[in-house]
């Protein structure tokens, strides 16, 4: 009777069972993209899988309307899953990315104005300085791993836009090293939850928490320095220091402020560095697109680096969007249902984990013609806003750094292709789907334009 009740109350999407389920659970750890795409081919745009040994129910979806239902229409019924809030939270603390509910909303309201287009426009000159410095060595060392370069560059850009010149190079390097090490540990824990147990036994978790404390101490020291100097720099740190909660008119506590800054570091550099690697790879494989890009740069003339030109729709931004369609750094977005819920024919119980498979949505033939080809012109379409396209998420938890990242990437692409080209030695990029979709290297040669 009990069994009958359990199976009849909810109408889950097609279930993945038997050997395919075993294959999914084991192989899915190593190559989730291959497994999830394969399951969608078998079961349709939404499927259900029960991880029996952990008693967890999962629904995966690459259906546009389902994704919009979870992220927009009924977002109130969903929290970030434990994967993010607990696993990441124990290292990063309580910042926008890991927080939920009322606490999250309070913080989001406070921080959002700092990321408006108008505020971001102030950051162009800081970004330009970092980009020029990173490109300096090209003439002497044309053979390069662009993935490494973009990693360091995106990190330095977040560091300088947050802290201006209050942070010296050695601190930026130390912070970068610690954050990368912490990220490597939590990436393993998120993908392979049993690592948490192994890590506990070997003391890895304790050591990693110590490292993240060290990174917070560095951030706190920069904060103290700014307060002592009394200077105003109009950067993100000033914005975070001066902003006040609507109800109490009080500022953020130092602890909260430091947590938010650490989160901005983590959320703001890894995704951008990966997106840039995919963008440059696609340009290197598509000479026609490179030609059109260079033509746009020439035609925009002196205006190419003005904030107005950087932020408007352009061929450069089309290239970036198309590369992020094919290789979405946020390849999946996860949520957990707070209460039983239903959408169209499906229903599911409270606690169900929902994995919105953005990588699948972006190549779903139901929404895209020739889905595997790189065609930046698609984004010229007047209807582009309604595409099945969510590289920055959607709804109230939409990426707060979307304008920041787009402006930064347009600036980097234009600064580079104004003077150089890139010949990739790799004909394919190795892809690793960890917390974000990453590549491991992008080796090639930089060629200076003929004058
Ligand atoms: C190409 C670059 C980027 C991509 C693809 C990206 C993608 C995303 C996605 C998909 C989400 C939503 C996650 C979810 O709903 O579970 C998100 C959230 C977030 N992103 Fe980004 N992001 C990028 C750059 C940045 C930058 C540059 C910053 C900050 C400087 C940033 C800060 C954040 C924060 C704080 C959140 C959490 C927002 C909230 O929950 O209120 N991101 N990002």
**Domains with residue ranges and CATH for the chain:** 1-92+331-390 (3.30.43.20)
Residue 49: pLDDT band (50, 70, 90) is very high
pLDDT tens digits for range 376-432: 999 999 999 999 999 999 999 999 999 999 999 999 999 999 999 999 999 988 888
Residue 399 CB less than 6 A away from ligand 1: yes
Residue 132's pLDDT is 97
**pLDDT one-digit tens code per residue, 156-176:** 999 999 888 778 888 888 888
Residue 69 Cβ < 6 Å to ligand 1:
no
Choose among 387, 383, 380, 330: nearest CA to 359: 330
Residue with tokens 């108008």: 118
Ligand 1 in reach of 320 Cβ (< 6 A) = no
With a 6 Å cutoff on the Cβ, whether 264 touches ligand 1 is yes
Residue 436 CB–ligand 1 contact under 6 Å: no
CA dihedral 24, 30, 32, 36 (to 10 degrees): -30
Q: Is the pLDDT of residue 135 over 50?
A: yes
- Percent of the chain scored above 70 by pLDDT? 96
pLDDT digits (tens, 9 = 90+) for 199-247: 677 777 888 888 889 999 999 998 998 888 888 887 889 889 989 998 8
Query: Per DSSP, what are the bridge partners of residue 48?
Result: 15, 59
Please tell me the distance from the alpha carbon of residue 366 to that of residue 371, in angstroms, as a whole number. 9
Asked if residue 268 has its Cβ within 6 Å of ligand 1, the reply is: yes
Residue 401 Cβ < 6 Å to ligand 1: yes
Distance 64 CA to ligand 1 centre (A): 20
d(CA 149, CA 82): 33
3-state secondary structure of 407: helix
Residue 446 Cβ contacting ligand 1 at under 6 Å: no
d(CA 392, CA 395): 10
Query: Given pLDDT bands bounded at 50, 70 and 90, which one contains residue 89?
Result: confident
pLDDT range class, residue 192, cuts 50, 70, 90: low
Q: How confident is residue 3, by pLDDT bands cut at 50, 70 and 90?
A: very low
In this prediction, residues 295-301 reach a mean pLDDT of: 95
Residue bearing tokens 């020739």: 370
> How far apart are the CA of 260 and the centre of ligand 1, in A?
13
Least confident piece of the model among 10-19, 156-165, 200-209, 300-309: 200-209
Q: Average model confidence (pLDDT) for the chain? A: 91
User: How close is the Cα of 392 to the center of ligand 1, in Å?
Assistant: 6
> Which pLDDT value is given to residue 196?
66
**pLDDT value of residue 93:** 84
Cα–Cα nearest to 348, from 7, 4, 2, 12:
12
pLDDT of residue 1: 40
CA of 141 to the centre of ligand 1 (A): 33
Q: Confidence class of residue 368 from pLDDT cuts 50, 70 and 90? A: very high
Distance in Å, CA 96 to ligand 1 centroid: 9
Residue whose CA is closest, atom 16 of ligand 1?
Answer: 333
- Could you give the CA distance from residue 28 to residue 275 in angstroms, rounded to a whole number? 23
Joined together, the tokens standing for residue 273 give 């560095």
Secondary structure of residue 97 in the 3-state scheme: coil
The maximal CA–CA distance of the chain, rounded, in angstroms, is 80
Cα–Cα distance for residue pair 338/77, rounded to 1 Å:
5
- This prediction has a pTM of 0.94
pLDDT for position 4: 44
> 304 by DSSP, 3-state: which?
helix
Report helix, strand or coil for 46. strand
* Ligand 1 center to 228 CA (angstroms): 31
Please name the residue that has the structure tokens 């229409």: 73
Two tokens, residue 151:
């990693």
Q: Is the CB of 323 under 6 A from ligand 1?
A: no
- Distance from the alpha carbon of residue 271 to the mean position of ligand 1, in angstroms: 8
Contact 404, 268 (CB under 8 A): yes
Q: Give the Å distance between the CA of 238 and the centre of ligand 1.
A: 21
Output the pLDDT for position 5: 44
pLDDT confidence tier of residue 366, bands split at 50, 70 and 90: very high
For residue 74, report the distance from its CA to the centre of ligand 1, in Å: 20
Q: What are phi and psi of 334, to 5 degrees?
A: -115, 145
Take atom 26 of ligand 1 and give the residue whose Cα is closest: 268
Residue 420's nearest CA partner among 83, 190, 175, 136 is 136
Among the ranges given (45-54, 147-156, 194-203, 350-359), the one the predictor scored with the smallest mean pLDDT: 194-203
pLDDT at 107: 94
What is the spatial distance between Cα 317 and Cα 330, in angstroms, rounded to a whole number?
18
Question: What pLDDT is recorded for position 92?
Answer: 83
Nearest ligand 1 atom to the CA of 84 is 16
For residue 113, what is the DSSP state?
A: G
Using a 6 Å cutoff on CB, does residue 356 contact ligand 1?
no
pLDDT at 37 over 90: yes
pLDDT tens digits along 233-286 = 878 898 899 899 988 999 999 999 999 999 998 889 989 999 999 999 999 999
- Ligand 1 pocket check for 97: Cβ under 6 Å: yes
Please indicate whether residue 176, judged by its CB atom, sits closer than 6 Å to ligand 1: no
């Amino acid at each position: 009777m009990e069994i009958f009740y359990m199976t009849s109350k909810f109408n889950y999407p097609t279930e993945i069972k038997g050997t395919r389920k075993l294959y999914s659970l084991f192989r899915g750890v190593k190559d989730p993209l291959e497994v999830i795409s394969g399951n969608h081919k078998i079961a349709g745009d939404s499927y259900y899988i029960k991880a029996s040994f952990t008693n967890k129910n999962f629904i995966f979806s690459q259906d546009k309307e389902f994704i919009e239902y979870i992220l927009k229409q009924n977002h109130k019924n969903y929290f970030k899953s434990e994967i993010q809030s607990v696993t990441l939270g124990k290292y990063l603390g309580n910042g926008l990315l890991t927080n939920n509910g009322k606490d999250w909303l309070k913080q989001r309201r406070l921080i959002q104005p700092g990321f408006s287009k108008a505020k971001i426009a102030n950051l162009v000159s800081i970004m330009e300085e970092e980009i020029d410095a990173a490109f300096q060595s090209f003439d002497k060392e044309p053979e390069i791993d662009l993935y490494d370069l973009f990693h360091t560059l995106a990190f330095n850009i977040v560091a300088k836009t947050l802290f201006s010149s209050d942070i010296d190079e050695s601190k930026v390097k130390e912070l970068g090293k610690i954050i990368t090490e912490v990220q490597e540990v939590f990436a393993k824990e998120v993908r392979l939850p049993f690592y948490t147990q192994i890590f506990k036994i070997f003391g890895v978790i304790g050591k990693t928490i110590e490292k993240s404390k060290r990174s917070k101490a560095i951030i706190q020291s920069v904060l103290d320095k700014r307060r002592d100097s009394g200077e105003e720099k109009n950067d993100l740190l000033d914005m975070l220091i001066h902003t006040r909660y609507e109800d109490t008119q009080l500022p953020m506590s130092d602890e909260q402020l430091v947590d938010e800054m650490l989160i901005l570091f983590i959320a703001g550099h890894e995704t951008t560095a990966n997106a840039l690697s995919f963008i440059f790879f696609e340009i290197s494989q598509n000479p026609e697109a490179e030609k059109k890009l260079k033509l746009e740069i020439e035609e925009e003339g002196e205006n190419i680096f003005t904030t107005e030109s950087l932020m408007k729709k352009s061929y450069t931004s089309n290239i970036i969007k198309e590369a992020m369609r094919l290789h979405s750094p946020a390849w999946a977005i996860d949520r957990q249902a707070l209460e039983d819920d239903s959408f169209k024919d499906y229903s599911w119980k409270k606690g169900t984990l929902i994995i919105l498979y953005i990588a699948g949505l972006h190549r779903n033939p139901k929404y895209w013609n020739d889905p595997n080809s790189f065609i930046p012109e698609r984004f010229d379409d007047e209807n582009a806003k309604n595409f099945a396209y969510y590289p920055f998420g959607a709804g109230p938890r939409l990426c707060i750094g979307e304008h920041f990242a787009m402006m930064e990437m347009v600036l980097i692409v234009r600064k580079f292709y104004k003077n150089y080209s890139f010949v990739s030695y790799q004909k394919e990029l190795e892809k690793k789907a960890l917390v974000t979709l990453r590549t491991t290297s992008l080796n090639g040669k930089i060629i200076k334009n003929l004058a």
